[in-house]
């Protein structure tokens, strides 16, 4: 299985900010976080299985965003 770039919500910020991480596809269209590529505090931990969606940004780019834990690590 190859890892995919996924963005994780940074905690403690007034505005919504995202930090990069890596994940592999899991059952049911979910993703298991394998690495966090930022030193910022994020909402999820390595090993968590999360629901994620591709979302668009105002600049026209798209990214896979982790939205909620479906199975904790």
Mean pLDDT of 10-28: 94
- Mean pLDDT (the chain) is 94
In tens, the pLDDT along 53-68 reads 999 988 999 999 999 9
Q: How many independent structural domains does the chain possess?
A: 1
Tokens read off for 69:
């834990």
Q: 26 lies in which domain range?
A: 4-71
Number of helices (H) and strands (E) in the chain: give both, helices first: 0, 5
Give the integer Cα–Cα distance in Å for 31 and 39: 21
How much is the pTM?
A: 0.90
């Amino acid at each position: 299985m190859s890892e995919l770039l996924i963005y994780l919500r940074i905690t403690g910020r007034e505005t919504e900010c995202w930090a990069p991480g890596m994940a592999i596809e899991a059952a049911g269209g979910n993703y298991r976080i394998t690495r966090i590529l930022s030193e910022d505090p994020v909402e999820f931990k390595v090993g968590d299985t999360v629901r994620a969606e591709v979302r668009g940004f105002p600049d026209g780019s798209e990214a896979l965003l982790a939205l909620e834990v479906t199975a904790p690590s």
